[in-house]
Structure formats: structure tokens, C-alpha cells
Amino acid sequence: MLEPSNNNELPTIPGKRYFTIGEVSELCAVKPHVLRYWEQEFPSLNPVKRRGNRRYYQRQDVVLIRQIRSLLYEHGFTIGGARQRLDGESAKQEQTPYNQLLEQTIVELEDILEALS
């Protein structure tokens, strides 16, 4: 998971349902072509594609991209190593709808706490 200390350097994730590739690029400090490449390398990163093959990322996609970024840029993992690490974490913690809702609630509460302080 993304370390809290690394979270401070990235902007908070707004409470929107969908994000464009440009918005995700800014939120995660990664260029759009890198995001498109990561889609090929990480099967769990699968944004919704609509008109004209435009990508729309959801909150869990942004969180996953931040995890990938942290593993690659801050912890020095290779792409293969990061993929294995993420696959291992997903096997340990199955993403049930309850877990997704719980994670989203935690993120929203952290955003509120940051706004209040």
C-alpha cells in the first residue's frame, strides 16, 4: 500500500466518480503515456473506455496507480516485481464489495480530516 509519507507529496483525490487521463496524470505525477503503458503491464489497471477510446478512471484506479508509482519510483521495484507484489496483495485481501466500500470510506474520511486540519 502507498506509504502515508508519500501521500503528502501528491494532491488529494477529489470526490468525483470518473477522471480523465489528464486528471489522473496530474493526481499521480505520471505522464499519460506512462499510464497507457502501465495498462498493458498491469491487468488489474483497466479503466472504462468510452467514445473514441477515451479512458475514464475510477477512484480505485487512481489508488492503484499511486501504489504502482510508489512501488516503481520510491521502492525500486521492477515492473515484473511490482506486478507480483500487487498480485500477492490482491490474493491476500480479496476485493469484495464490502472491502471496496470500506476502503473508499477510509479515503474519504482521510480527505475530510486533511481538509479540517
Output the pLDDT for position 22.
Answer: 94
Specify the CATH architecture of the domain 4-116: Orthogonal Bundle (1.10)
Domain boundaries, the chain: 4-116
Q: Dump pLDDT digits (tens) for 8-64.
A: 578 888 888 899 999 999 999 999 999 999 999 999 999 999 888 899 999 999 999
| pTM for this model (two decimals) | 0.70
Q: Residue 3: pLDDT band by 50, 70, 90 thresholds?
A: very low
The full DSSP string for 19-72 is: EEHHHHHHHHT--HHHHHHHHHH-TT---EEEGGGEEEE-HHHHHHHHHHHIII
Q: Dump pLDDT digits (tens) for 58-109.
A: 999 999 999 999 999 999 999 999 999 988 876 555 556 777 777 788 888 8
Distances (CA, A) of 9 to 70, 72, 105, 108, 112: 11, 16, 21, 18, 17
